[in-house]
Amino acid sequence: MKDKPGRGLLLCSAILLLMVSCASVDRYIHSGEVLVWEPDIAGFDSLDLVEQADEHTVLVTGSSSVRLWDSIHSDLSPYRVMQRGYGGAKLSDFNYYADRIIKPGPYKAILIFVANDISGSDRDRTPGEVLKLYRILVSRIREHTPDAPVFWIETTPTPSRWHATDRIRDANRKIQRYCDRNPDLYFIETHGAFTLPSGNPDSTLFRNDMLHLNRKGYRLWAGVIKESLAEEGILPSPESVEKTSR
């Protein structure tokens, strides 16, 4: 993992700055529309009664690309994965329900993929607002899980949202710079893996809707994720490796 000094001072300073700079996006978190996802989050509450995180758990959470990943456990093996995804997730509602999605626990790592804040609609957040919402989310996670490495998975370039790619990439660059400056925050790049030499997204990696990944796309995504985890020294437990090799 990267070594970043002055963690306590940085965290205190970040919280103070957050109170001032992120007030403008607080209205999104507390808008009535976030309540639409209550049934999905209630489903997570039920899962938490039977599925507990431990120090070997990699929590993968976010929007529909996580929810639809039905081969996630085999694709990310030998990591021990906890899957918490719901369709249409935005950082506003994710923040609202953060304490129920990411329960306090000794996670090996937390991976977040939320890809609907900028989709090409007239209700999109600006790249700056996306960054502010992510900073708020990180502060919420750090309140009860101060040491777990948190990875932001770059929004995958998709054919169906290619018209919004400049703003999507701007938001991701802002988040990447934020991660680079703060302890235990990481950014998983995916743009290069999912685009062709021409610079356009590779349509063979997506379902017919040209938004969600197909089996080939998920295998590629899993490889990128596992490589990023390993690069930061986050490795599966020996027990998991041994169990997989049997």
Per the domain annotation, does 197 fall within a domain?
Answer: yes
The mean predicted confidence, pLDDT, of the chain is 92
Q: What is the pLDDT of residue 199?
A: 96
The domain that holds 44 is classified in CATH as: 3.40.50.1110
Is the pLDDT at 80 greater than 90? The verdict is yes
pLDDT category at 30 given cuts 50, 70, 90 is confident
Mean pLDDT in residue range 236-241: 83
- Contacts of residues 8-12 at CB distance under 8 Å and 24 or more positions apart, as own/partner, are 10/182, 10/183, 11/142, 11/146
Joined together, the tokens standing for residue 44 give: 């997570």
Question: By the 8 A CB rule, do 89 and 114 touch?
Answer: yes
Q: What is the pLDDT of residue 179?
A: 98
Per the domain annotation, does 2 fall within a domain?
Answer: no
Is the pLDDT at 24 greater than 90? The verdict is no
Express as a percent the part of the chain with pLDDT over 70: 89
Domain range for 176 is: 7-245
Q: What is the pLDDT of residue 241?
A: 79
Q: 102 versus 17: which is more confidently predicted?
A: 102
State pLDDT tens for residues 167-196: 999 999 999 999 999 999 999 999 999 999
Joined together, the tokens standing for residue 88 give: 């249409």
Per the domain annotation, does 1 fall within a domain?
Answer: no
Is the pLDDT at 206 greater than 70? The verdict is yes
Selection from 124, 125, 51, 105 nearest residue 83 by Cα: 51
Per the domain annotation, does 137 fall within a domain?
Answer: yes
State pLDDT tens for residues 106-141: 999 999 999 999 999 999 999 999 999 999 999 999
For the ranges 20-24, 36-40, 68-72, the lowest mean pLDDT is seen at 20-24
Is the pLDDT at 16 greater than 90? The verdict is no
State pLDDT tens for residues 41-72: 999 999 999 999 999 999 999 999 999 999 99
Joined together, the tokens standing for residue 132 give: 């502010």
Total number of domains in the chain: 1
